[in-house]
Structure 1
Amino acid sequence: MCDVAHMFLLGQYRMLRLRCKAKNGTHLMQGLTHQSCVQELKDKIEELTGIPCDVQKIMVGYPPSSLDLRNGEAHIKDYPIKSGDTLIVEEEKNKPKPQTQTTVTKGPSFDPHPVVERRVVPADNSCLFTSVHYVMEGGVYDPACASEMRGLIAQIVASDPTAYSEAVLGKSNEDYCAWIRRDDTWGGAIEVSILSKFYRCEICVVDTQTVRVDRFGEDAGYTKRVLLIYDGIHYDPLQKVVPNSDVPPQTVFSATDDIILAEALELADEARRKRQFTDVNRFALRCMVCQTGLVGQKEAREHAKDTGHTNFGEV
């Protein structure tokens, strides 16, 4: 069996990755094989991207080269396409879109389309915990939840000192539990992983600097998925909303919904183009304990190791 195709929206392009779990490599995407005809492939691309077959420009390889897919009866095996490849699909603007029969309506209709947006939370050292609580509670913002979330993580870590050893935590189990309970410490990958297991939910963190998704709990078989966006030092929750509507935001999605990942990546790419991220290797920090000036997370880690100071502020 093969996975559903993953779709990444980057600007005007649609990038489709053909993935397959079959060892013989015969399957391309769900419902297609190398024996399928070109028209079936184009129909599947139209289903995933919304680009009509007649105006699809399909490219493969690097640098990308266009495929001549005008013969809809030809087989996919006759073209240089294999499982694992990335197809780049562009709408050809100079081609007229296929005409559809118009119908007369009695008046204007409004069909609001849900959009993915960032829900900004305070930069108060607890943005990760506030963001995870927000998405897991279906869009309920509670600024007082951070203390409870920190305590929950401390209890989980303390209950399993073997799994959460000093090698994993970077400090002793006891020291970590005391550290994470403080309201001036930041959460990161360790805490996201712990919360993913606790909620039995895949937590996807979309990075605006690299435009990638880190999927915590990806292989655990969870049925739910939530998304956060990360700019190098700050987390915000992502939600799908219907503009100008009283419909509550959607924050929990199916773990098989890869369209939401594509939309989140498009949002991250837009933030990257606007340079809405912090370069953690170059940003200026100050130790709030001894007032030492530092540059980047590497110097901050070394300073913390040498002095035990862990309270930093961005300059």
Structure 2
Amino acid sequence: MKIKVKTPAGAVILDVDEEMLVRDLTQLIKTEHRQQASIASYKFGYPPRNVNASAETSLRDAEIRSNDQLLVSYENGADSHTTTATVPQTRLEKAQPTPSDLPYVYIPECSTNLILRNVPDDNSCLFNAISLAVTGSIDWRKLHLREIVANTIECAPEIYSEAILGRLLQEYCLWIRKSESWGGAIELGILSKHLNVRIEAYDIDLSSPITFQDENNPPDEFIVLIYSGIHYDTLVTNKVLSTSRIGDVGKWASDEGISEAAQKLVKLLQSRDYATNTTKFRVRCLECYEVLVGEMGASRHANRTGHVRFGEV
């Protein structure tokens, strides 16, 4: 079967057997594709799941399927993120959006706009997206979201087993408390219950949402997140189409056309290649420490400066 392995420097497509062990896949990546980094785990699927890079389980048993994309997570430390640019190419800078650039859909039922609000492209995007929807602030620390997740897992070892978490419970709790660790399905499920909201998470490729909520006590309010494959953003309503978040509403008690508008907005984002254009990896030059965007940014920097050592931010 073919799988796509994505690193800060780019992606490779591998033809592997489903009975291959995950640890052997890791060795294959390191030896045949010049990955000098110490790989810790892989994130794949939607909602995202993690598997330890040294797991002694087959790709099939880890539920890695043909055509899956695996996002590589590295051990801590700049040196462990080192990779090499192979195609020389200046730094890409993201322009600030104007109102005319904003992805939005007008909702006539309530005379308002459904707008995509971008959150920082970092490893806390899931937590910040939830915080923005619930509080209007892009700061997950105010709600202690990572601590809530870790505490919930620690109090329910019978639910959050090693098989579910992809690693030992205490290891997972230490890991998710770190600001550089990504959140996924486990975190969405826990936070939806704790915050008493329904979370509608749209995968941009699937076009339909996956719902997270307390099935035994369905909440009265809901929020909507957009998932690009490696990044979460938030949908809000605002009667004024503006880049300003003043007047944003990200949590609703009734639908009033929001779900239908969300479907339309997802199609708009698909037409704009949102999944591939707005959430590229950031890499840092390990020689001059400039932060660059994606493989193209690294390649252009290499061409301009002669620097060829890069690490994930």
TM-score normalised by the chain length of structure 2: 0.50
The residue type equivalent to 1:215 in the other structure is T
Quote the Cα distance in structure 1 between the aligned partners of 2:312 and 2:238: 33
| Aligned position for 1:236 | 233
Q: CA deviation at 1:207?
A: 1.6
Question: Does 1:184 pair with 2:183?
Answer: no
Question: Does 1:154 pair with 2:185?
Answer: no
Quote the Cα distance in structure 2 between the aligned partners of 1:218 and 1:187: 19
| Aligned position for 1:199 | 195
The residue type equivalent to 2:258 in the other structure is I
Question: Does 1:250 pair with 2:249?
Answer: yes
SS at match of 1:253: coil
Residue-by-residue CA offset, 1:93-149 (whole Å, 9 max, x unaligned): xxxxxxxxxxxxxxxxxxx93110111110110000011111111x23336548x21
Question: Does 1:141 pair with 2:141?
Answer: no
| Aligned position for 1:6 | none
Quote the Cα distance in structure 1 between the aligned partners of 2:258 and 2:213: 17
The residue type equivalent to 1:248 in the other structure is G
**Structure 2: 5+ residue runs without aligned partners?**
1-109, 286-310
| Aligned position for 1:174 | 170
| Aligned position for 1:274 | 272
Q: Residue 202 of structure 1 contacts residue 222 of structure 1 at CA under 8 Å; is this kept in 2?
A: yes
Q: Residue 228 of structure 1 contacts residue 237 of structure 1 at CA under 8 Å; is this kept in 2?
A: yes
Q: CA deviation at 1:313?
A: 4.1
| Aligned position for 1:25 | none
Q: Residue 127 of structure 2 contacts residue 140 of structure 2 at CA under 8 Å; is this kept in 1?
A: no
Q: Is the alpha carbon distance of 1:206 and 1:218 closer, same or farther for their aligned partners in structure 2, counting shifts above 3 Å?
A: farther
SS at match of 1:237: strand
Q: Residue 113 of structure 2 contacts residue 241 of structure 2 at CA under 8 Å; is this kept in 1?
A: no
2:260 to 256, 259, 262: 262
| Aligned position for 1:26 | none
Q: How many equivalent residue pairs? A: 176
Q: Residue 154 of structure 1 contacts residue 181 of structure 1 at CA under 8 Å; is this kept in 2?
A: yes
SS at match of 1:163: coil
Q: Is the alpha carbon distance of 1:132 and 1:285 closer, same or farther for their aligned partners in structure 2, counting shifts above 3 Å?
A: closer
TM-score normalised by the chain length of structure 1: 0.50
Residue-by-residue CA offset, 1:36-66 (whole Å, 9 max, x unaligned): xxxxxxxxxxxxxxxxxxxxxxxxxxxxxxx
Counterparts of residues 32-43 of structure 1 (less than 5 Å): none
Residue-by-residue CA offset, 1:262-291 (whole Å, 9 max, x unaligned): 111111111111211049xxx9899x9xxx
Quote the Cα distance in structure 2 between the aligned partners of 1:128 and 1:267: 19
Quote the Cα distance in structure 1 between the aligned partners of 2:282 and 2:139: 28
Q: Residue 161 of structure 2 contacts residue 169 of structure 2 at CA under 8 Å; is this kept in 1?
A: yes
Identity %: 31
Quote the Cα distance in structure 2 between the aligned partners of 1:213 and 1:116: 16
Quote the Cα distance in structure 1 between the aligned partners of 2:266 and 2:234: 12
SS at match of 1:153: helix
| Aligned position for 2:220 | 223
Q: Residue 113 of structure 1 contacts residue 243 of structure 1 at CA under 8 Å; is this kept in 2?
A: no
Q: Which has the higher contact order (CA 8 A, sep 6+)?
A: 2
Q: Which has the larger radius of gyration?
A: 1
Question: Does 1:115 pair with 2:113?
Answer: yes
Q: CA RMSD in A?
A: 3.2
Quote the Cα distance in structure 2 between the aligned partners of 1:258 and 1:170: 39
The residue type equivalent to 1:130 in the other structure is N
Quote the Cα distance in structure 2 between the aligned partners of 1:257 and 1:197: 19
**Structure 1: 5+ residue runs without aligned partners?**
1-111, 289-311
Quote the Cα distance in structure 2 between the aligned partners of 1:206 and 1:193: 14
Quote the Cα distance in structure 2 between the aligned partners of 1:172 and 1:250: 38
Q: CA deviation at 1:218?
A: 7.0
